[in-house]
Chain A
Amino acid sequence: MAEPLLAVRGLRKRFGGLVATDGVDLDVAEGETLAIIGPNGAGKTTLIGQLAGDLRPDSGAIQFAGADVTAMSASARSHRGLARSFQITSIFRDFSALDNVALAVQAHAGHSFRFWRPARAEARLREPARAILEQVGLAGRADVVAGTLAHGEQRQLEIAMALATRPRLLLLDEPVAGMGLDESQRMVQLLRALRGRHTLVLVEHDMDVVWALADRISVLVYGRVIATGVPEAIRLNAEVRRAYLGGEVPA
């Protein structure tokens, strides 16, 4: 394998007596989709937090796009090409959908110490934002206040904001959480369209989504990766079955 886009080595994070991340190693190749699954409390959110830069690991290293980003802030990682969506929808609720995406474009279009020209009149921010809204299927909702969008639309908007940063890797924290069947299917379609063009790291509970998207799967249990492999191998892995509630096959 060529040099992986994301390489995690010996990542460890404890909260008091609880070891939330216990020596995690991960490699993600450019262009692949890796799903991280695991039972509740396995430490998925803590792991995502460390990858995104919200949490500092106690030890270990994260290499991304050829640089050590372990000590980098979330905003600095964004500029190296790492984007994320949040498990609990995180948008600018009182701005329009288009504003939300335009802000993400703005973060990567030079500095914002500009005090005079209306940002909403900058074609350089608005045009790419419109194109991305179109891409995620929200073109008709551009001027709607984001907080009033339907739940599924807000999740699509999150993906749009992540895409607007022109990322090399997208970290998706439970992208279909709380969605109905229709919304969930639309999201899977959207993510499927991104697959291959972007590198995706997906944390997800919904195994249908995982089977539909993942090139490889890593299984996290009690802060450790107990297995990594192609979906078929994971499906047949005895240890994985045990971890999922006494042998119940995930699917």
Chain B
Amino acid sequence: MTDSLAIIRFDGNGRVYGAGDTLSGEYRFNGVLPAQIKAVEVSVLWYSEGKGDEDMAVHEFWRSGPDEGERIDPSRPAQFTTTLPNCPLSYEGLIVKIRWCVRVRAILHRGKDVVAQKSFRLGGVPAVEVSAS
């Protein structure tokens, strides 16, 4: 049995984007058969890390697959594209951190979801240095 995994690639291999930029790329799943898939979800989202409980918000969300009346081949690359919002910008603070990512999730009829995410930076806010406090 092969391990299931998802692969995400950004167009132009970009990792830093500005507000209003277009983020596009593709994703595919290895080791997942079409018959296994109930639905595929693609999200462009930010989440917080650090001392506080996690906050998360989805900027863009797509769901496709047999569950939605579509037939998909998980091994073939599928495209996604979105215009990034003005904020919140990526942030590396002392106790609050905000990270952006594209997350893909294959929801299977049986077994665990296959999930992968690829991070990117929104904006150019420099990391806070400890000495700043």
A associates with B: no
* Residues of B near any A CB (own CB < 8 A): none
* Residues of A near any B CB (own CB < 8 A): none
